[in-house]
Amino acid sequence: MSVSERVFPEGLDPGRVPAHVGIIMDGNGRWANQRGQPRKAGHAAGEAALFDTVEGGLDLGLQFLTVWAFSTDNWKRPPDEVRFLMEFNRDLLRRRVDELDERQVRIRFLGRRARPVPRRVISEIVDAEQRTEHHRRMTLQIAFNYGGRSELADAVQRVGEDVAAGRLDPKKIDEEAIASRLYRPDAPDVDLLIRSSGEQRLSNFLLWEAAYAEFVFTDVLWPDFRRKHLFEAVGAFQRRERRFGKL
C-alpha cells in the first residue's frame, strides 16, 4: 500500500476521533526481563511499537500524537541506561526521519532542550524538526527530557519575565497566560491518554494538557503495543461520555 492510501479502522466512528492522543510508552524493561534480556533490548524493541502506532495514528487521521520517550526523572536511572537511551533516540531519529517526512508527519520535541541532554542529541532533534516543520498531516510530538512540573515551572518563569519587562499586567495572569507559555501552546488539549504496562499513574506527564483527558490503561508492555491497541483505546474513548463539568 502506498503511504497515502489509508483504510480507516473498522468499527470506529470517523466523526469522533480524538484530536490529540498522548501515550506513556511503558514496560520496556519488564518486557526484556521476561525474555532474560538486558533492559536495552526492551527499549530497542519499543521502536517497532512506536512506528506501528504512528501508522495507526495516520490511519485514524489523528492531528496530534504525543509519545513520552524520556522523562526528567529518568536521569535517576543507572548512567549506562541513560547513555543508551540518549544514543538510541538520536539514532532512531536519524534512521527514521525520511520515513516520517515521506508520510507528511511533522516532528516536534516537547521538553527541556538543555543540559544534561547531549548537544549532538539536541542537534538531531532540531534537524528533524526543521526538515518536517512544513507538514500538517499529523504532528508527532516526542516528549524527551519532559516533565509536566518542569513545563509548568518554565511557563511560570516566562510569566515572571514578561511581568518584569512590562509586557504582562500581573492582574491579567489567568489560565490563558499560562497555557500560552507552555512548550507547545498551539497543540490542542489531550483527549485520550494511554499508558501501557499496567501502571495506572501519570508519572508527571502532560499535567496541564491532560486536565480533561480520558485515560485508557492497558496491560500490554510497550514493545508488544501495535496500532490495534491504539484502535481499541480509541474505541473505549468513543464509548465514554465526556462532560467537562457540565450536565
How far is 146 from 41, CA to CA, in rounded Å?
23
Residue 76 DSSP code: G
Binding partner selected for residue 44 from Mg ion, ligand IPE, none, CB under the kind-specific 5 to 8 Å limit: none
Which residue stretch of 22-30, 55-63, 93-101, 132-140 sits at the interface with ligand IPE (rule: CB under 6 A)? 22-30
What are the grid coordinates assigned to 57, written together? 495514528
Q: Which of 64, 70, 109, 215 binds ligand IPE (CB under 6 A)?
A: 70
The catalytic position among 74, 91, 127, 162 is: 74
Reply yes or no on whether 26 is catalytic.
Answer: yes
Identify whether the C-beta of residue 223 lies closer than 8 Å to the C-beta of residue 45.
yes
Q: Which long-range contacts (C-beta less than 8 Å, at least 24 apart) are formed by 178-182? A: 178/152, 178/208, 179/208, 181/154, 181/155, 181/156, 182/151, 182/152, 182/155, 182/208, 182/209
Helix (H) or strand (E) holding 195: strand 192-195
> Quick check: 203 binds ligand IPE (CB under 6 A)?
yes
Residue closer to Mg ion (CB basis): 26 or 151:
26
Among 9, 26, 89, 112, binds Mg ion (CB under 5 A): 26
- For the bound state, the minimum distance from the C-beta of residue 120 to ligand IPE, rounded and expressed in Å, comes to 19
Choose the binding region for ligand IPE from 14-22, 26-34, 163-171, 173-181 (rule: CB under 6 A): 26-34
Nearer to ligand IPE, 9 or 148 (CB): 148
Q: To the nearest 10°, the Cα dihedral for 234, 236, 240, 245? A: -60
CB of 15 to ligand IPE, least distance (A): 31
Q: What is the residue whose three cell numbers read 508520510? A: 103
Q: Is there binding between residue 29 and ligand IPE (CB under 6 A)? A: yes
Residues 6+ apart with CB under 8 A from 28: 39, 42, 43, 45, 46, 221, 222, 223
Annotated active-site residue 33? The verdict is no
User: Measured from the CB atom, is 17 or 221 closer to ligand IPE?
Assistant: 221
Helices and strands, number each (H, E), in the chain? 7, 6
The set of residues, in sequence order, having a beta carbon less than 8 Å from that of 245 and lying 6+ positions away, is none
Span from 57-65, 86-94, 100-108, 198-206 in contact with ligand IPE (CB under 6 A)? 198-206
Q: Which is nearer to ligand IPE, 222 or 225 (CB)?
A: 222
> Among residues 60, 69, 121, 230, which is the contact residue for ligand IPE, using CB under 6 A?
69
Q: What residue type is assigned to position 59 of the chain? A: D
Residues that contact ligand IPE, how many (by CB under 6 A) = 18
Which chain residues interact with ligand IPE by CB under 6 A?
Answer: 24-30, 68-71, 74, 85, 197, 199, 201, 203, 222
Catalytic residue IDs: 26, 74
